[in-house]
Structure 1
Amino acid sequence: MTAAAHILCINPWIHDFAAYDFWARPLGLLYLAGLLRDHGCRVTFIDCLDRFHPRHPQTDPAARCGRGPYRKTPIAKPERLMDVPRRYCRYGADPEWITADLRAAGQPDMVLVTSLMAYWYPGVAETIAAVRSVYPKVPVVLGGVYATLYPAHAARATGADRVICGHGEQAVFDALEAYTGWCIRPKTDLGDINALPRPALDLQRGLPFVPVRTSRGCPFSCDYCASSLIEPRLEKRNPEEVVAEIRSWHKWCGVRDVVFYDDALLVNAEKHADIIFDMLAGSGMDLRLHTPNALHVRNITAKTAKRMHAAGMQTLRLGVETTDFEKRGMDHKVGAEEFFRAAAYLREAGFSRKHMGAYLLAGLPNQNPTEVEASIDGVKAAGITPVIAWYSPILGTKMWDAACAASRYDLAADPLLTNNAVMPCLPAFSWELAARFKDRIQK
């Protein structure tokens, strides 16, 4: 190669009824950016969701943290969702700003776009159209969760030249060679999570928190979850390298908030997470740790609870889904005794209700609202804050067929219809039901 290939990585807009930045960053895309840069490519990054864009009015210095509302602009509601009495918006930076950013980046050799929720694909399509308007002949490669679960739909609906399913490390190298002739020989085993370079977090505009993935995959195969479809094998990183990564970012810019993106952080904790917690507790970095992804309650022991508290855990979310333990059939992650025992361990370790939340699924196929209310009461009785998670049907999961049978929509016709914000498995969208659950939580 006579000059470095230029790869532009883009995190797309969100089109939805509601969206909120809750420690959200495109970590998979930033891992690919780090990999490409480590192999000699010039990498630039544009985040359409950037809450800290220089043209965005920042009135509150405290807003520069890991959580906060996105800029939103009302847009036309999709025809298929006209029955939903909610306002539809584009979340993220103004398109004019992104067009200027694209021009300023200079023409790339290839563009990588990521995707998350399948029902956000209109934002992906708008993003790719924006790229085409500035660089009409540059190849665009799409990856991420939506691309993995709906590859055929993504190829039709987004305008991408190529769609990557699953892990993108080798696929990105292949695409670069196919479209540009640039040939990269991997330095390490791309299938080894411990051999991959660190994500290029420095490409972001500021670093208010460090997103960390200490493992990928999940040993469970819950009826409602796509984790095992996206990451069929559980792999764990070396604990020492995880802590070294956190330390490097803390040293670089003083960042204190660390957010774990794992789907199974506490599985085999004594050989993995407990080691990380102990090392962080003794590091002198004074960190604040967060787990927006649910922790498996069964893996919380008295020792692990104490270690999490000593390490500085501030936001702790549990995957409970329902406290109807007798009839539990959609997963087998936790029983009644395990749940109340884990809650006691957490309280004894020093966690209070303000730190602990338990996700409860609502809007499931054929679910009676009284079941959700009973779960709210059960979680509150354990000294934990209930957090309602509205169900989104996911193609390929065990619950998909039941969701299709219960839904008022033809879910298979369009991923838009799986949006949890529209309560797709209820007879109709209901503000009253949402308010009913909220009032129950606050009582």
Structure 2
Amino acid sequence: MMFNIHQTPEDSRRYADWKAFLLRRGASIPTINDFLAYGSLSTLERLRSLLAELEPENVGPIRLAIASLRAKKTAKAGSKAKGGRRGPALACSIPKADLPLPWKGTIRKLRMRLENKMAGGIDFDNELKAMPKSSLDDAEYILRAIAKSSMNRGKEPSLTVQGIVYWIDDAEARGCGPRGLSCQIGILNRFLLHHEGTASELAKILGKLRRDYIKRGDLTDKRKDSVALADFDDLGEVWLRAKALLEEAQKAPHGTFRRYKLHLEAAAIALSVVVPLRIGDLHRIEIGTHLKRDASGWQLSIKTQKTGGYYHRDKLWPKLTQFLDALIIEDAPGRDFWIGYRGRVGTPVFSRDGGATGLSGDWISDIWFEHFGVGAHFVRTLWHENVFDADDEREWIALSLCGQRSDKTAKEYRRKATERRRQIKGRGAMSRRRCRLQNVDIGL
């Protein structure tokens, strides 16, 4: 192995010691376990820079080993605080643990009911549908925010008209618009029906309030619509951004966290385009469980959370293969895809630590906000609009790709697409009229 002029005698000794260690272990292709057995965090960090230059095919596992040791070091150090909550103080809500017991009890029962349903159990409550996990998480946060608003005014947290008015006042002061509030009020209303029963007077009041906010929201532009008009409105532009990130990742130094971060972001955007599911489903996708690879490419099959329907794609678009393969290859011993794939079976596709932990739906949304200024849900709108523009008889393509089963939502997509087509035709007619007038003015 040739060393360049920037490497020192110490580098030569370190590299020789590493190779001797592998020889003693009988390991020709080092794995994460070999690196963990070799040395401490600082030793591996020094070795990584050497391997990145001399054996770039072997730096994936050392990145994982370094990440594992850093996590253990952080956990071992613990907090030096004398009490209280880690991190910044909550500004808009209270901790989950501080919610009133009756509220926590209802949340717990609803989660247990959902788990039973997802496991294939019988749901004996025919009066009210079980709330999906994403709605339960949202409801829990809304309750925490309601409690905070009451406590800020020296009041006990309560599910009353006054308590909800406090919460809405605070939300509007933070800039929450009528569309967002109508959604949150709707989620709170569903929780109340479970919490107080279908005869709840407060639930009836919230139903009327939600309708009022929906009407107000209809008078304002959606953020995603205004962004689309200002910045981009084409799936191809989204795909090109994903490709640019992939190219940037491939130029980054091997074995670095930045390189893998760029690969993750590229794959998250690309998968959102090819598989435009809700982020609550995208982040749950597991390799080998939902997302499977064979010699011809990748396929996907997953039960969606919101509708409970099965989403199945026999063969995903071949151009997506390089994005997903890269997530496996980057961390695979010897950059061998199939060795890496077998090691990732049953783990989340989006993970920074080789599948030990998965990244959340919020992470996917953050990536979209960083690169496009809107959440990942926007790609679903783009699919509906692009397919509609191409052929209004083929709208089933977008509905199928997005896993859309709600007739109400499908009608809304059709309405928006029709409106957009009329706007485009209108702008085209005005442009042609201006051209004719200009030609007359200059005597042509």
TM range (shorter): under 0.3
TM-score normalised by structure 2 residue count? 0.24
The structure where strand makes up a greater share of residues is: 1
TM-score (norm: length of structure 1)? 0.24
* Structure with the greater alpha carbon radius of gyration: 2
Q: Which has the higher helix share?
A: 2
